[in-house]
Amino acid sequence: MIVPGSSSQLLAAALADETGRRLATPTYDRFPDGEALAAVPDFDDDEATVVATTDSDAAWVELLQLQDAVREAGAERVTTVVPYMGYARQDQSFGDGEPVSARAMARAVSTGTDRVVLVNPHEPAVADFYDAPVETVDAAGVLAEPLPDDLGEPLFLAPDEGAIGIAETVRDAYGAGETDYFEKRRDRETGAIEVSPSDAPVSERDVVVVDDIVATGSTMSESVAVLNDRGAARVFAACVHPMLVANAVTKLRGAGVDRIVGSDTIERGCSVVSVASVLADVLA
Ligand code: R5P
């Protein structure tokens, strides 16, 4: 059975459709003292695929509870699909006394599963933190589907060098266009982003800015603003994980984005494409 976390119900349902597996109906409750209680009262299978994005601390707790609940209900084999792995940006200790949070989360999840599937983790190396076997999926190609067919001299641009791989994946899936990347600097104290234009000409061209995550929207909105200043025709924002916290959407609109395109690894209004078919291939 496919067992969804509360934040991954649409993706889990799509995955059930893709794989022909049954979809469980967990309950997500809370005790008066605030403690969570996620349960799977209708679980009756030997195998469980828990699909739970971890975009909040509560979601991590829920994931651990769902893993334990299906074991308790008789699952002999548990696969854990983490569509968006939170804490993956804390993949090292950046200062005195700081934890490697991605490692702490990975170890906790590994105790309750036989296998882990990650979708575009921010740093591929976080897979090494898991004690259970891990498969990492690049689902960025689905972001090409909702783009207009008539992009003019398209440029697929990563806001920093680290995202050039997924920009290339989206360009390849689209079937035409160039790729390039900006240089990015982030002030760790203020979070302020500065991007330096690449040499690629953008005037009168359609540009798709591709990133793994849009969180505060600072990186993407700075990139969009620079491209509009330089005369781009249309600027699209495409990301695998549309976290979009606080005023990220309005920042992007203010910067003049034409459209925001995200996947359902984090379910938001702009999650117009699903990674379910990519996951189904891995789970087959
Ligand atoms: C950073 O390396 C990531 O690829 C994203 O660019 C970053 O996490 C986006 O964060 P924000 O939306 O807060 O600028």
Q: Is 90 exceeded by the pLDDT of residue 187?
A: no
Determine which residue's CA is closest to atom 1 belonging to ligand 1: 213
Q: Are residues 178 and 104 part of one domain?
A: no
- Judge if 183 and 235 occupy the same domain: yes
- 120, part of any domain: yes
Respond yes or no: is residue 184 known to be catalytic: yes
For ligand 1, the distance from its centroid to the CA atom of residue 231, given in whole angstroms, is 24
For residues 96 and 173, state if they share a domain: no
270: in domain:
no
109 and 221 part of one domain: no
Give the predicted TM-score (pTM) of the model: 0.95
Mean per-residue pLDDT over the chain, rounded = 96
Q: Judge whether residue 106 has pLDDT over 90.
A: yes
31 Cβ contact list (under 8 Å, min separation 6): 37
- Out of 115, 171, 184, 205, pick the active-site residue: 184
pLDDT of residue 186: 81
- Would the CB of 215 count as within 6 Å of ligand 1? yes
If you search the block for the tokens 């190396």, which residue do you land on?
A: 125
Degrees (nearest 5) of the Cα angle 162, 191, 102? 55
Same domain, yes or no, for 147 and 253? yes
pLDDT at 199 over 80: no
In the predicted model, what is the mean pLDDT of residues 63-78? 98
Average pLDDT over residues 92-96: 96
Residue 35: which domain range? 2-138+275-283
**Residue 173 and residue 221 share a domain:** yes
> Is 50 a domain residue?
yes
Residue 71 lies in a domain: yes
* Tally: H helices and E strands in the chain: 7, 15
Q: Which pair of structure tokens corresponds to residue 122?
A: 């921010």
Q: Are residues 49 and 116 in the same domain?
A: yes
Which residues share a beta bridge with 146? none
Residues 139-176 have pLDDT tens digits of: 999 999 999 999 999 999 999 999 999 999 999 999 99
CATH number, domain at 186?
Answer: 3.40.50.2020
Q: Report, as an integer, the average pLDDT of 44-50.
A: 98
Interval 97-105 mean pLDDT:
98
Is the domain of 115 the same as that of 152? no
- CA–CA gap between residue 220 and residue 238 (Å, rounded): 9
15 & 102 share domain: yes
CB count within 10 Å of CB 145 equals: 14
Mean pLDDT of 260-284: 97
Q: What is the pLDDT of residues 22-39, one digit of tens each?
A: 999 999 999 999 999 999
- Spatial separation of the C-alpha atoms in residues 29 and 66, rounded to whole Å: 12
Q: What local confidence, expressed as pLDDT, does residue 227 receive?
A: 96
Number of compact structural domains in the chain: 2
Q: Are residues 180 and 253 in the same domain?
A: yes
Instruction: Give the pLDDT confidence score for residue 189 in this predicted structure.
Output: 81
269 assigned to some structural domain: no
The answer to whether residues 35 and 76 belong to one domain is yes
The average pLDDT across 46-58 equals 98
118 to 92, 98, 278: CA distances (angstroms): 18, 24, 11
Ligand 1 centroid from CA 170, angstroms: 18
